[in-house]
Structure 1
Amino acid sequence: MITINSNLFYGDKVKLSIAREEDSEIMLKWGEDSEYLRNVDTEIAFPKTKEQLTTKGQKDLNEVYFRLRTIDEDHLIGFVAIHSIEWNNRAGLLAIGIGESSNRNKGYGSDALKLILRYAFHELNLDRVGLEVIEYNKGGIRSYEKVGFQQEGKKRSVVYRDGKRYDIIVMGVLRNEWEEIHKLN
């Protein structure tokens, strides 16, 4: 089998990393950005405490959680996770966030998606990765489609923001589809 990169945790622009003690201070600032909070979750946009940020994903056997760092300067720029893993069904859900707006639209998200999907399919041995995205997150939808996700349906009128209702787009990618896109066997 051919791999995209010989290092499981490194892409072209970003690397998958464990949480570091200093990360929580940076992530607390992200919690002050309503655009970030409103794209990363459908819950009420509300900042997390330092304690909530430092315990994320550490003991959940049905989740793998990584911090995203730039390769060139080792700066924390976001997170990516496969959560709600159903091992018997070989399926999980994806979550990703790029914290500061200055780090968005630079290819970091696409690189991180390639990395986490390779990890999900070749390390965790999953057959399917799904996600849900709010319809107004056009950049996220484009990034997901670029790496192989397909729109599978929608949940109508789920999110209420600024006096308007929005659909949730349900997307998924299968291992064989992803391998075909990336010419893997």
Structure 2
Amino acid sequence: MSRRDKVVFLAGNKINLRPLLKSDAGKLSRWINDPEVTQYLSVYLPMYEKEEIDWIENLSKCKPNDIVLGIETIAGILIGTIGLHGTNWKDRATNLGISIGEKKYWGKCCGTEAVSLIIGYAFETLNLHKVCLSVFGHNERAIRCYKRCGFKTEGCRKKQIFKNGRYADEILMAVFKVNKKTERRSKWIKQ
């Protein structure tokens, strides 16, 4: 599939969010097996490309409670994934997960733009009330990103996650639809 054949689900200024393709499986497998990429993820088992293909193919069966999208640069380079998981339609709440696998895009605001786009979608299109997430307490770059997008800390689960031979705190954060900072997301949306 050529770059211009790819579907853009949410368009931003630096990045777009699009459905994942089977052809993305190799990149996803490379990222999920890279300890530097997964240092802040709860992943601890190796993943094979075939497993990633199966996962991508099964994403459509998870709708509407789980939505996973690829984060792609305007130039068409897949750099990560983002999703809304475990959506509770009665309580109008969901959980956010994001990973930027292409390291050269770390610290370039691509994650901030992706988070802004997806929370805009969660609030404006899905009419959700709250977007939650959990993050390793020592993942300062991610915490800064989430705060820029309007997330507030709701709690800390001390020494909750065992990773790389030690226990890490898990910070619980959330943003509500009525939060004024969420209005900043409009600067990322392509007009």
The reply to whether TM is greater than 0.5 is: yes
2:67 is aligned, of 54, 64, 83, to 64
With over 3 angstroms needed to count, the CA separation of the structure-2 counterparts of 1:170 and 1:142, relative to structure 1, is same
Whether the 8 Å CA contact 1:147–1:178 is kept in 2: the answer is no
**Alpha-carbon distance in 1 for matches of 2:158, 2:129:** 27
Q: How far is 1:180 from its partner?
A: 5.9
Q: TM-score normalized by structure 1?
A: 0.87
- For residue 24 of structure 1, report the CA deviation from its aligned partner: 0.8
Do the aligned partners of residues 180 and 50 (structure 1) sit closer, same or farther apart at CA in structure 2, a change above 3 Å counting?
A: closer
Residue identity opposite 2:101 in structure 1? G
Residue pair 1:11, 1:111 contacting (<8 A) in 2 also:
yes
1:43/1:160 CA distance change after superposition, 3 Å? same
Match of 2:178, SS? helix
Query: Could you say what secondary structure the match of 1:59 adopts?
Result: helix
Aligned to 2:42: 42
Distance of 2:39 and 2:60 partners within structure 1 = 24
Shift of 1:136: 1.3
Higher helix share: 2
Q: Taking structure 1 as reference, are residues 16 and 25 closer, same or farther at Cα in structure 2, changes over 3 Å only? A: same
Q: TM-score, normalised by structure 2?
A: 0.84
Q: Is residue 102 of structure 2 the alignment partner of residue 103 of structure 1?
A: no
**Structure 2 residue identity aligned to 1:42:** S
Query: Could you tell me which residue of structure 1 aligns to residue 12 of structure 2?
Result: 11
Identity %: 29
**Cα distance, 1:135 vs structure 2:** 0.7
CA-based RMSD of the aligned residues comes to: 1.9
8 Å contact from structure 1 (residues 134, 167) kept in 2: yes
Q: Any idea what the Cα deviations from partners look like across 1:121-169, whole Å, max 9, x if unmatched?
A: 1111100000000011110000000000000101111122344321100
Structure 1: stretches of 5+ with no match in the other structure: 1-6
Whether the aligned pair in 1 keeps the contact of 2:149 and 2:185 (CA below 8 Å) is no
Identify which of 167, 174, 180 aligns with 2:176. Answer: 174
